[in-house]
Amino acid sequence: MALFPLESNPEVLNKFLHKLGVSEKWQLVDVFGLEDEALNWIPRPALAFILLFPCSDKFYEHAAQQKSELQQQDQIVVPDLYYMKQYVSNACGTIALIHSVANNAERIDLQDGIFKTFLDDSKGLSPEERGKLLQELPNNPHVMDMINAHQELALEGQTELNPDEKVNHHFIALVEKGGYLYELDGRKEFPINHGKTTMDTFIDDAAKVCKDFIARDAEDVNFTVMALTACDK
């Protein structure tokens, strides 16, 4: 199964979030730069960064090296970190949103709806079992609701869509959990712990991770960053 890819478009993705039950107090906003002056414009608190980046050979080489190194270490993964694998093509945008919301459920006024039901259904599952939930469309009406919302909002984007066309960009989420900054990518074997952080330093620390991604593909300009933040509504 392949979905239509979501655009890195806060207007569209906010509709998706709110349709699934996230309070309108929380909005995704564009991050227009990763230097201090630009970061200072991001509304506080910021609960997550969502990074869209090109899937280049350099990315895959680094990911393979990173996996090998971390398999030889005991990186800390806090027990209540919510992580799910990606098995459905073009679902990375939805999975990045799930990672962002699920790991901040105690901070977000998550209303009864599709997200809350999905998180309740998947709370005690493994990352692999959570990922496979998205493949259970005929047997799970709650998952069908989420996928239908994904498809509907993807069609609101400005890019002509073909679900079978190869997508060369990928969404991941960066979140704070248990005092650590985690990179959550459903296509990797496990979460990536990028070191200690706090809610006060999260924006700066997440920006550094985004800078590292960009530095590895410095000749490519096709990166976008969004932050999940509180707004004045």
- Supply the residues annotated as catalytic: 92, 170
- Whether the Cβ atoms of residue 97 and residue 49 lie closer than 8 Å to each other: no
Q: Which residues pair with 228 in a beta bridge?
A: 28, 48
Nearest to 174 by CA among 182, 166, 162: 182
Secondary structure string (H, E, C) spanning the chain? CECCCCCCCHHHHHHHHHHCCECCCEEEEECCCCCHHHHCCCCCCEEEEEEEEECCHHHHHHHHHHHHHHHCCCCCCCCCCCCCCCCCECCHHHHHHHHHHHCCCCCCCECCCHHHHHHHHHCCCCHHHHHHHCCCHHHCHHHHHHHHHHHHHHCCCCCCCCCCCCCCEEEEEEEEECCEEEEECCCCCCCEEEEECCCCCHHHHHHHHHHHHHHHCCCCCCCEEEEEEECCC
